[in-house]
Amino acid sequence: MVAPASAEAPLHDRLRGVARALEERFLGRSEVIRCLLVSVLAGEHAVLIGPPGTAKSALVRAFARLCDARYFEYLLTRFTEPNEIFGPVDIAAFREGSYRRRTDGMLPEAEVVFLDEVFKSNSAILNSLLTLLNERRFVSGGVALKCPLLTAIGASNEVPQDSDLAAIFDRFLLRVRADYLDAFHFQDLLARGWRLEAALVRDEPVLPLVSATELRAAQAAIARDTRFDDAFLSAYRTLVLQIRAEGIGLSDRRVVKLLKLAAASAFLDGRSAPDASDLFLLKHVWNAEDQASILEGLVSPLLEGHYREHPEARRLGAAAVGLAAIEAEIERARSVIAGGSALSDVQLFSQLKLLGELKGALASHADPRARELAGRVDRLLDAAFKGGRFGAL
């Protein structure tokens, strides 16, 4: 179990404590978790996109429990009515000729909001939701109420295709994929998943590590104190122009707002100014899922260049796969591929896919031994493609 940060620790240390606690429970979700933390620090919104069963809802709920903030969540359907989200009509006031809603405990008074299947919103909800997310206002009975919203997190199984939903999709500055885990995570997935299920049954109490008041103060401090140096702005400008040149829409409004996220990412690391490592956020600005690989190809070389110069800055996260586990998976693959039994095309393909995933995981390790293991993976791949000469492996 990860030790929580002391209540007297600086806010960025306690936020990293939130990240460690979540990474311990949710395997392979380090970047998703960082995106959530950066979003709440910047006062922006994020949406998690992925198939059912990838722990999107469980992750957001665990995140909310570690924040001392008023929380609201709802599963939207096309039949959801406004009173389920914004509060019921105040009948007593209505009898006196005044139309307003009772918003106690509802979305307009929440500080952290989770909207599951957010793109199933119907038109009766959509307009009010758009204003609330963008302007932190909710109009009830002709009166505009100021909403204390820090961040809204959406979740969906798919990207909306309906043009009527383009505006709500645009409100979520970061679009983060939550996919099934790679095959080599399987053993750890079972162990952590079982612990999570047991904790849910026991309904273990959780001590919040940060408060809404602190987060709101941090938002103001980030906006007031962050300075962007010329090197960062030059790298940012180059990436934005490359992204637009690839035909990926990135409006001027989003370009400016993304600077807030970069500043929040720097704050999370205890830095006073963003650097190239904070540009990982640009991997998550796609408008269609097929653009994600393009963004990865544009952003990753810049990140790797930065980490070569500053290896101590590489963020591995508590969920990084240990080298011992990777080595065990390499040996397991070698024994399957080099075994006496003939493999079907499907079996061989699954092993090659596993080796590719292991090679990608090794690339994130600064340990020099990772290079030796990557060499073993390359030799296995080479032998497999050459027809199965595995004697030297």
pLDDT confidence of residue 177: 93
For helices 56-65 and 11-25, give the axis angle rounded to 10 degrees: 140
Confidence of residue 2 (pLDDT cuts 50, 70, 90): very low
Q: Classify residue 347: in a domain, yes or no.
A: yes
Q: What is the mean pLDDT of residues 377-393?
A: 66
pLDDT confidence of residue 202: 65
Q: How many CB atoms lie within 10 A of CB 136?
A: 15
Looking at the structure, tell me whether residues 196 and 344 fall in a common domain. no
Looking at the structure, tell me whether residues 167 and 185 fall in a common domain. yes
Looking at the structure, tell me whether residues 378 and 297 fall in a common domain. no
Give the residue numbers spanning the domain of 48. 11-202
AA identity, residue 259: L
* Residue 41 β-bridge partners: none
Q: Classify residue 63: in a domain, yes or no.
A: yes
Looking at the structure, tell me whether residues 170 and 113 fall in a common domain. yes
DSSP secondary structure code for residue 13 in this structure: H
For helices 369-385 and 345-362, give the axis angle rounded to 10 degrees: 160
Output the domain CATH number for residue 59: 3.40.50.300
Looking at the structure, tell me whether residues 157 and 67 fall in a common domain. yes
Looking at the structure, tell me whether residues 350 and 273 fall in a common domain. no
DSSP secondary structure code for residue 9 in this structure: S
Q: What is the mean pLDDT of residues 259-268?
A: 96
- Rounded to two decimals, the pTM is 0.80
Q: What is the mean pLDDT of residues 168-179?
A: 92
pLDDT confidence of residue 392: 45
The residue from 255, 285, 313 where one domain ends is 313
Task: For the chain, give the percent of residues with pLDDT over 90.
Answer: 51
**Strands of 174-177's sheet in order across:** 71-75, 112-116, 151-156, 46-49, 174-177
Looking at the structure, tell me whether residues 56 and 188 fall in a common domain. yes
Strand 112-116 with 151-156, pairing: parallel
Q: Classify residue 221: in a domain, yes or no.
A: no
What are the DSSP calls for 81-127, one per residue? Answer: -HHHHH--B-HHHHHTT---B--TTSGGG-SEEEEETGGG--HHHHH
